[in-house]
Structure 1
C-alpha cells in the first residue's frame, strides 16, 4: 500500500509540476520553434522533462533516507543524473558546445561504472566472460551513447515518454521477480514520474521534454542497466532487448549519416520513426506502435533473457532482427 501511494504521489506531482513548467516556458518564451528539421508544425513550450528529473531525484533521496537503497547506488544515480540534467537544462536555455556536453556525459557514465565496480562477467553460451577493463570502457560508452541517443529519439509527441514507461515498467517487474525490491522501486518511480509528464506530452503535445529530461532519462535507464546487472543480477541482455527500439533506430541512423559524411550530431529528421510519422502524417500511430512493440515483443524476450542469461545474445539477435528490418523499411538515416 505504501509503495502504491508513493508511486501515485510521484505521478501526480510530476503532472502538476509539468503544468507549472509549461506556464514558466510560455512566460519566458522558452519555446521550440519549428524549422525544416522539425517533426512538429507549431511553436511549443519545452523543458517539461524537468518534472521527471525533480520527482525522480527527490524519490531517490527518500529511498536513501529510508535505507531502502545502498548509498553507492544513490550516489551513482542521484549525482550522475543531476549533473546530466543540469548540463541539459543549460543547453535548453542557451546552446552549450557539444564537446562540453559530451565530456560531462562521459564523466557521469564513468562515475556509474566505477561505483558499479567495473563490468560484471558477461554471460555467453557455455561461458562467462571476465572482460575486465575492456568491459568497463564499453559500459562507459554504452551509458554515454544511451543518454545522447535518447535526446536524438525524442523527436515526435509522446515517443520518449512511452519508451521510458514501457522499458522501466517491465524492468521493475523483472527486478521484483528477482527479489531486488529496492531496484524495482527505482524503476517504478521512473515510470510513474514519466507517466505524469506524458499526460502533457501525449499527441498533440502541450509541452516538450527538452534536453534536461531526455538526457536524464537516457542516463537513468542506462545506469540502472549497469547497476542492476552488477548488484541484482538482472542480465544486461534483458536491458538491451528492452531498449532495442531506440538503440537500433538511433545506431543505424548515425552509421548511415556518418558514412555519407554528414554531421551526425546535428539536428535532422531522418530517423526511422520520423520517416514513419511523415508516412502516416501523424505522430500518434508511431508512438503507440513503439509501446506495443516494447510490451508485446521485447518484454517477453527480455524476461526470457533474465531467466536464461547465457542465451541472452541469441535472444537479443532474435529481438532486434525485426527492429532492424523495420528501420530499413522506414529508411533510417536516409534523407527525405
Structure 2
C-alpha cells in the first residue's frame, strides 16, 4: 500500500509540475534574469505547488492507514497550506515583508500548538524542559527554517536535492534508531519532491518558487520537532543533516547584518551561489547531496545512537561547512 501511495504521490507531483509549467508559460509567469540571478534565460516559476498538493494529498491517507497521528496531520497540513498560500501570492505579485513575517509566525504557532510545543531537549546528559520559552524558541526556529530554505533555493535542483537527501537520510536514522513509525511522512515528502525534481534538475525547466521552498522549510522543521517527542536526540540528527543549508544561510545573514545591508533585499552572495558561478549548478547540487549522504548522515546516526555526543556531533558537522562558507565568500558584497 505504501509503495502504491509513493507512486501516486510521485505521479501527481510530476504531472502537476508539467501542467504548471505550461500554465506559467501561457501566463508569462517567468523568472526574468537580472544582475542577481543564477540563470541566464527566462524560466517559468511556481512549480513547487506540485510538491504541496502531492504531499498534502498523502497525509490524510497516512492517517487513515494509522501511520501518522491526527495532531501531526493537522499541524503539517495547516502550517504548510498557510505558508504555501503566502508564497503563491508573493510569486504572483508582492506581499510586504512584515505581512509575510506575520503569516510565518502564525503558521509556526499553529504547528507548535498541534505538536505540543518544543519537546524536552537532551544536552550533555541533562534534560532541559523548555516550557513557555520553548514556544518562543520553536517559533523562531520554524520561521528561520522556512526563510532559510527560501534563501537557499537559488540554483537549479538544489532545494529539491536537499529535501530528498535529508528526508531519505532521516528515514535511515529512524530505522537504525528504532523509531520506524516516524519514517512515513519524510518518505512521502521525498517522493513528492522527486516528481518535481524531474523538471527542476539542472538545467531547470521550471523553478520552485516561494510557495514550494517555504513549504519545504516549515515542513522539514516541523517534522524535526515531531521527532524530538519520540527521541530527543533526533532533533540534533535533523539539524546535522540540514547543516549545509543552515550554515550557508546563517553565515550569509550574519555577514550581511554586520555590514549593514538591508537583509530583506534580494542578493546573490550565498556560498552555494558563488560556487555555482565557478562550477555550474549541476556540480554544486550533486556535491551538496553527496555531503549530506557521505558526511552528515553518518554523523546523524552516531548522534542518535549515543556514540557521539550532541556538542561534538554539531561541531564536527558544522566546522567544515563554516570553512566552506568562508572559502566561498558567503555574505561578502
Task: Indicate the residue corresponding to 2:212 in structure 1.
Answer: 213
1:106-131 CA-to-partner distances (Å, cap 9, x unmatched) read 11111222222222221111311223
Q: Supply the distance in 1 between the matched residues of 2:204 and 2:44 (Cα, whole angstroms).
A: 9
* SS at 1:123 equivalent: strand
1:311 counterpart (306, 309, 322)? 309
**271-280 or 227-236: which moved more?**
227-236
Q: Supply the distance in 2 between the matched residues of 1:134 and 1:85 (Cα, whole angstroms).
A: 27
* Contact 1:123–1:310 under 8 Å retained in 2: no
Structure 1 runs (4+) greater than 3 angstroms displaced: 176-182, 231-234
1:142-171 CA-to-partner distances (Å, cap 9, x unmatched) read 110000010000000000000000111111
Task: Indicate the residue corresponding to 1:106 in structure 2.
Answer: 105
Task: Indicate the residue corresponding to 2:295 in structure 1.
Answer: 297
* SS at 1:119 equivalent: coil
Q: Supply the distance in 2 between the matched residues of 1:182 and 1:27 (Cα, whole angstroms).
A: 43
Q: So what's the TM-score if we normalise by structure 1?
A: 0.96
Ranges in structure 1 where 5+ consecutive residues have no aligned partner: none
Task: Indicate the residue corresponding to 2:23 in structure 1.
Answer: 24
1:209-236 CA-to-partner distances (Å, cap 9, x unmatched) read 0000000000100000001112455521
Ranges in structure 2 where 5+ consecutive residues have no aligned partner: none
Q: Supply the distance in 2 between the matched residues of 1:218 and 1:56 (Cα, whole angstroms).
A: 14
Q: So what's the TM-score if we normalise by structure 2?
A: 0.97
* Contact 2:122–2:233 under 8 Å retained in 1: no
Task: Indicate the residue corresponding to 1:270 in structure 2.
Answer: 269
Task: Indicate the residue corresponding to 1:249 in structure 2.
Answer: 248
Task: Work out the number of aligned pairs and report it.
Answer: 333
Q: Supply the distance in 2 between the matched residues of 1:224 and 1:305 (Cα, whole angstroms).
A: 18
Q: How does 1:167-206 map to 2 (within 5 A)?
A: 167-206=166-205
1:294-321 CA-to-partner distances (Å, cap 9, x unmatched) read 0000001011111129811220111000
* Contact 2:68–2:184 under 8 Å retained in 1: no
Q: Supply the distance in 2 between the matched residues of 1:308 and 1:138 (Cα, whole angstroms).
A: 25
* Contact 1:124–1:310 under 8 Å retained in 2: no
